Structure 1
């Protein structure tokens, strides 16, 4: 066999190896896992009925995240405790991203909360939770998570007034959407000639308008606990969440609050050491 034939044969073997490797390489899209919470005082035994029900429940949530579903809840009971679960995707993400996020969550949560009867996981693009108690159509405010950008804004008091005003208007829209629309809204406010604050609010669709607004009032009230005077942050509850940044972090939606007349607050550099990523540390209460 000549050297050229050996090289050609080696090349074919390499291509075949690459092709086989590509087919077996994991295709799960990398998405941002923000946090998770597992009950430590409510647990189940290995190979118990609840463990089997949880497995069936998570499989149901993953398989029912179809091309037209961005929120879904389910129950599974084969004796003993019933397993309740739901997922909700962020209001502006596309259905492909939503589906991948739910699949990621159903795969990751049981490994992080191996024997917990109650657990929740938040991604940037979705949340997923389960419990042995029925929580559908119920406002749950714990566990809560706060995520913040460590960079400060100047004139913090003025900035926070603008933020609270805009976030409350955004929450009003999210809590009472048009018929057939999600309980999701975005809003913006110019707080200087050069800078804008971008806000987002969302509730699970099973909440009533009044319960949604009550839940969002809690998250907005927790902004001072989480992110007072910071360039960006979010508060996550099981039933709702809010977020703000000094850059557009969401896709434009028809459920948005008009930009008001700008207030006079001096500009600040929002890139800092964290860049556009924004979130650099977290605080949490279980």
Structure 2
């Protein structure tokens, strides 16, 4: 058996184990780090006022454990630091808070002197900047992540997938009053005997039209990152879309006390384009 065959076999065994675990323990969530991007066009000096303000901002974000979206501003007379976090729409507040805390601890190490940065996890994302970005659409930098396995009929699959994703985006962009700009869809028969699970979400401070515009761009970029793949996602700072052939989101309301485990993301390939 060749090395590539062994790797493929191991990957399929892991996914089978993951799926069985999900079915047996539906309230257990694994915390996956996805990616981060440090903007390199502006930096700050060590021990500067901006560094102190960033520390205060991240502490403020990490301390909010009663909501799944929060934005904050910190200014000490010099540069202003803007920041926010958002959790995936199905994630409960306990999981959300733990994800945000981990993100605030990791991002300063990954981007030690960047005046702007963003980090994505499965359950949440967090960003900060020296410019005001609240209520604006940011589609760059973008990050794409694809499953390493491909479908047998890519052209037909992608046509149907776009239709499902656009309907999911329509629902996410126009939620009921008081609801999140988040939607998920499960649909069978796109591939025989299999169900595709789709998700679309915007930051809640976007207007419905801005949310839909953002999601349209992300759906269009599925061709850039994930054409013909069995799973993929496009992450923007203001919105994101994803599809898989397994239930990566909770199909029912989450339990209040999940079990977390930090594990590597299996069977995927990612790329960023600023």
Tell me the TM-score range normalised by the shorter chain. 0.7 to 0.9
Residue 103 (structure 1) aligns with: 101
The TM-score with structure 2 as length reference comes to 0.83
The TM-score with structure 1 as length reference comes to 0.79
Which structure has more RCO (C-alpha within 8 Å, separation ≥ 6)? 2
Residue 36 (structure 1) aligns with: 36
Residue 244 (structure 2) aligns with: 245
Matches within 5 A, 1:60-99: 60-64=60-64, 66=65, 68-99=66-97
Aligned match for 2:140, one of 139, 142, 153 = 142
Q: Runs of at least 4 residues of structure 1 off by over 3 A? A: none
Offset, 1:192: 3.7
Structure number with greater Rg is: 1
Q: Is the 8 A contact 1:87 1:128 kept in 2?
A: yes
SS in 2 for 1:158: helix
Query: Any gaps of 5 or more consecutive residues in structure 2?
Result: 1-28, 254-264
Q: Does 1:212 align with 2:211?
A: yes
Task: List per-residue Cα deviations over 1:102-134 (Å, max 9, x = no partner).
Answer: 000000000100000000000000000000000
Q: Does 1:181 align with 2:163?
A: no
Task: List per-residue Cα deviations over 1:1-53 (Å, max 9, x = no partner).
Answer: xxxxxxxxxxxxxxxxxxxxxxxxxxxx9721100011112100111111110
Measured in 2, the distance between the counterparts of 1:59 and 1:193 equals 48
Gap change, CA 1:61 and 1:49, over 3 Å in 2: same
Q: Which has the higher strand share?
A: 2
Measured in 2, the distance between the counterparts of 1:245 and 1:126 equals 18
Query: Any gaps of 5 or more consecutive residues in structure 1?
Result: 1-28, 255-276
Q: Is the 8 A contact 2:83 2:128 kept in 1?
A: yes
Deviation larger for 190-199 or 210-219 = 190-199
- Please tell me the root mean square deviation across aligned C-alpha atoms, in Å: 1.5
Deviation larger for 181-190 or 236-245 = 181-190
Task: List per-residue Cα deviations over 1:163-212 (Å, max 9, x = no partner).
Answer: 00000000000000001100000012221440111100000000000000
Q: Is the 8 A contact 1:73 1:84 kept in 2?
A: yes
The number of residue pairs the alignment matches comes to 234
